[in-house]
Amino acid sequence: MAAYRSLRLEKYFFRNNLNKRSILGTSAVLRGSYSQPKQNEAVDQRRQFSRHTGAKYGGRYTVTAIAGDGIGPELMGHVKHVFNLARTSAMRKRTCIGRDWSVCYRVADVPVDFEDIYLDSAHDADTDLAHAVLAVKRNRVALKGNVETKHLKPGFVSHNLLLRVSLDLFANVIHCRSIPGVSTRHGDVDIVVIRENTEGEYKSLEHENVPGVVESLKVITRESSKRIARYAFEYARQQGRKKVTAVHKANIMKLSDGMFLDTCRQMAAEYPELKFEDMIVDNTCMQLVSRPQQFDVMVMPNLYGNIVSNIGCSLVGGPGLTAGSNIGSDFAIFEMGTRNTGKSIAGENIANPSAMLMAGVELCRYLGLARHADVIEKSIWRTISEDKVHTPDLGGTATTSDVVHSITQKVQNEMRKW
């Protein structure tokens, strides 16, 4: 009965072209059209940003789960619990609300199966990485914790970076929103940071010319700039946003950031309803800490995106509250917005699970499970803003389990109305 119900809901959402708040994914149609000539590049690119239609068997999606290091494994466990995949008796007891145990362990009942892949500091061989990439290619979506980068091995490239580059996840979208109930210095912040995710300063092309002189190459291409600009403007249009700000340093890096800026300007001409402005990155940082309410959607190359997204996340309350999506033409990986391993608080039950749960919410939206996503998101927000169950990073004393318990109860209450 439950399986039929989820299938029926699925068909309903399938017909809807792009829910108002869904993350932009890609269509399977385009994959078959490589042999055809590109008639209209804009139309092709726009078709890329429709909904995900990946691995789905019997009405259930399979999602790769890469727990990573630090707080990743425990938070992944909580996400699985809220998604209704923890089937241990301990979990059952915690979520039982006095009814028959065979029924009461269900929480959000999300039709998702997780495939666990181990990629962390203990599993950091090339084969582990290849295995992880293959798993994400197979399932098309993943939920990920951060993998720690060990400095000791020379020539070791971050596995987080390699994963993103191999899967060509060109857009990193971080939505920083002020949550009522969280005390911050700035209110009414609603910024979407869209960051180019594959090139720029993160190309890892470095060499030592002579001992003591090192060069690192920053590469900017017109294709990638066009792609990320197109994504940013499409996102702004479809989400009903008003303004797009390009962040750059073209006064100093005239050729590289200059090309990025020109590409954004040309793209802005195709979206006359959206206001476009550009700002130099140091001025942007100054404005973000004095008047962050002026920003709407921001698009930028890789390194500036790293800085601006971290500033944006801390403006709304810290690394425990924002999720980040890495979107490509064919694949998507969802993770915490600030990509921290949280090594220092691992295993202490004080990490804030909201960021990882919100990543799960974005995952549901990407898969088209908007109703599940809304339920879980509403429960998270109500836990933080109404019940004010805050972990130490928000200035409270609750544990991770307290927060998850509160969210679970709210989700179960909501699900009973279905």
* Residues in contact with 126: Cβ distance below 8 Å, sequence separation at least 6, in sequence order: none
From candidates 39, 102, 127, 290, binder to other proteins by CB under 8 A: 290
> DSSP string spanning 1-19?
-HHHHHHHHHHHHHHSSS-
Among 18, 179, 285, 346, binds other proteins (CB under 8 A): 285
Could you give the CA distance from residue 401 to residue 398 in angstroms, rounded to a whole number?
8
Shortest distance, position 343 Cβ to other proteins, whole Å: 11
- For position 156 contacting other proteins by CB under 8 A, the verdict is yes
Q: Is 300 in the site for other proteins (CB under 8 A)?
A: no
Contact between 38 and other proteins per CB under 8 A: no
Cα separation, 193 vs 296, in Å, equals: 8
**Binding residues among 198-227 for other proteins as defined by CB under 8 A:** 201-202, 204, 206-208, 211-223
User: What do you get for the CA distance between the two ends of the chain, in Å?
Assistant: 13
**Residue written as token pair 């914790």:** 145
Distance between CA atoms of 408 and 110, rounded to whole angstroms? 13
Task: Output the CA torsion sign for 250, 253, 254, 256.
Answer: negative
Nearer to other proteins, 336 or 361 (CB): 336
SS3 state of residue 141: strand
408: contact with other proteins by CB under 8 A: no
Task: Give backbone dihedrals phi and psi of 139, rounded to 5 degrees, phi first.
Answer: -95, -15
Site for other proteins contains 45 (CB under 8 A):
no
- Residue 343 interacts with other proteins (CB under 8 A): yes or no: no
Verify binding: residue 185, other proteins, rule CB under 8 A: yes
| Nearest distance, CB of residue 105 and other proteins, angstroms | 36
Q: Which of 61, 86, 65, 54 is nearest to 144 (CA)?
A: 65
In whole angstroms, how close is the CB of 1 to other proteins at the nearest point?
Answer: 46
Task: Give the whole-angstrom CA distance, residue 190 versus residue 361.
Answer: 18
Task: Give the shortest CB-185-to-other proteins separation in angstroms.
Answer: 4
Among 179, 259, 346, 415, binds other proteins (CB under 8 A): 259
Q: How far is the CB of 357 from other proteins (least distance, A)?
A: 20
> Is residue 321 near other proteins by the rule CB under 8 A?
no
Angle, CA 189 vertex, CA 188 and CA 194 arms, to 5°: 155
Stretch that binds other proteins, among 18-26, 31-39, 119-127, 149-157 (CB under 8 A): 149-157
Query: In the range 86-125, which residues lie near other proteins by CB under 8 A?
Result: none
Identified binder of other proteins from the candidate list 77, 318, 342, 368, rule CB under 8 A: 318
* CA 267/CA 270 separation, integer angstroms: 6
Nearer to other proteins, 3 or 252 (CB): 252
322 and 336 Cβ atoms separated by less than 8 Å = yes
Rounded Cα distance, 289 and 27, in Å: 39
Measured from the CB of residue 155, what is the shortest distance to other proteins in angstroms?
Answer: 7
Q: Judged by CB under 8 A, which stretch of 8-16, 118-126, 234-242, 313-321 contacts other proteins?
A: 313-321
Dig out the tokens for 383 from the structure: 């836990």
Inter-residue contact 21 to 239 (CB < 8 Å): yes
Supply the angle between the helices 41-48 and 222-238 in degrees, to the nearest 10.
60
Size of the site for other proteins (CB under 8 A): 60
Q: Which is nearer to other proteins, 39 or 209 (CB)?
A: 209
Among 7, 30, 311, 415, binds other proteins (CB under 8 A): 311
Binding to other proteins by residue 29, rule CB under 8 A?
A: no
242 touches other proteins (CB under 8 A) = no
Residue (of 147, 205, 178) closest to 336 by Cα position: 147
What residues make contact with other proteins under the rule CB under 8 A? 149, 151, 154-158, 161, 185-186, 201-202, 204, 206-208, 211-223, 249, 252-256, 259, 281-283, 285-290, 303-304, 306-307, 309-311, 313-315, 318-319, 338-340
